[in-house]
A = this chain, B = another copy of it.
Amino acid sequence: MKINTDLIKFESGINLESGIKLESFELMVETYGELNADKTNGILVCHAFSGNHQASGSESGWWNEIIGPDKAIDTNKYFVVCSNNLGGCSGSTGPLSINPKTNKSYGKDFPNVSVLDWVNSQKKLMDYFEIKQWHMVAGGSLGGMQALQWSISFPDSIKKAGIFAAAVKSSTQNIAMNEVGREAIRKDKNYMGGEYLDNNVKPKNGLKTARMLGHITYSSESIMDQKFGRKFQDINSKVDGTVDYEVENYLQYKGEKFSDTFDANSYILMTKAMDGYDAASKTHGDLELAMSDIKAKLLVVGFDSDWLYPPKRSKEIQLAAMNVNVPCSCVILEGKQGHDSFLFASDDYVNIIKGFIESV
């Protein structure tokens, strides 16, 4: 599989939904496979909250199980594009970047970004590749929201949308959970009102707590029960003396690892974008009206074990689509990994995605 990683600069900048303009911006982009001569085999994949441009081909690939030669998204046939979202912390312009006006990192002053902003920035990336129409835009969770928004914002530029473990908007509980994570970060003594970069510190503790909670929401009660039950952690492998149970040890370990790599201002920015998404925000809450101009075919996949964006949120998309005659298949799979199920290949999931991509 041919892999290309590039930092691409967009000199014309971008007008953000907030009204602020970034005079220029960069996207960290990775591509898999090759663009064909008539540029019709492009597939854009959009990452979820904590993902980045590394979708496949390395240990870090968040969609390794789905993207690759002969996989559900087959890189022998398709040119797959993935970029780190604007405001992210994996190379694209975001809080860690230098603000040209101050010559210091943006930090907490990076402007708010939205799902629509991401879609608009990805449209510029599409133009860069001189692709006229994506064969598909797909993603899970926050990535699924981007796929849905692509079909709404650029109806002529997208043939198919794969919307997995997603929703037309975040629920009250989603917002509430995100706020707990943000609170943990903001109250970390090293957050310093968001100005930790200037002080050469990092709010690792807050990021860790936030991620521990995140992991609970990405899993499910029964999955955690099967995986850990009430087993005590072996005394020789405790990551911390306060740990009693295996599940505590697991969360501590995962949280710690995440806090080493993720940026706190990005965390806050990304979760605020997730909270703020509402596909019907431009149509005064009328979802059907918002979706009425969609020309893409939609594939919506939900997972029974997902309680963050449960199956009813998938069905909501399907119902609105059908009411405005947008072709939409909605499949609810069991999913052994809760919300995270969209990341992993199962026979059904792979076959459904393959069939959708090949369908006419």
A245 in the interface (beta carbon within 8 A): yes
> Which chain B residues lie closer than 8 Å to A229 at the CB level?
172
Provide the bound-state CA to CA distance between A187 and B187, in Å: 10
Instruction: Name the contact of A182 in the complex, choosing from B189, B225, B242 (C-beta under 8 A).
Output: B242
Instruction: Name the contact of A173 in the complex, choosing from B179, B212, B216 (C-beta under 8 A).
Output: B216
Give residues 179-223 of A contacting B (CB, 8 Å): 179-180, 182-184, 186-189, 205-206, 208-209, 212-213, 216, 220-221
Q: Name 20 extra pairs, CB < 8 A, besides A170-B230, A172-B225, A179-B247.
A: A172-B224, A172-B228, A172-B230, A172-B247, A173-B216, A173-B225, A175-B230, A175-B245, A179-B251, A180-B209, A180-B216, A183-B209, A183-B212, A187-B206, A187-B209, A189-B189, A230-B278, A244-B272, A244-B275, A244-B276
**Main SS of chain A's interface residues?**
helix
- Contact string against B for A residues 151-166, beta-carbon threshold 8 Å, 1 for contact and 0 otherwise: 0000000000000000
A98 in the interface (beta carbon within 8 A): no
> Which chain B residues lie closer than 8 Å to A276 at the CB level?
244
Most buried by B among A169, A173, A208: A173
A330 in the interface (beta carbon within 8 A): no
> Which chain B residues lie closer than 8 Å to A350 at the CB level?
none
Interface residue total, chain A, C-beta cutoff 8 A: 44
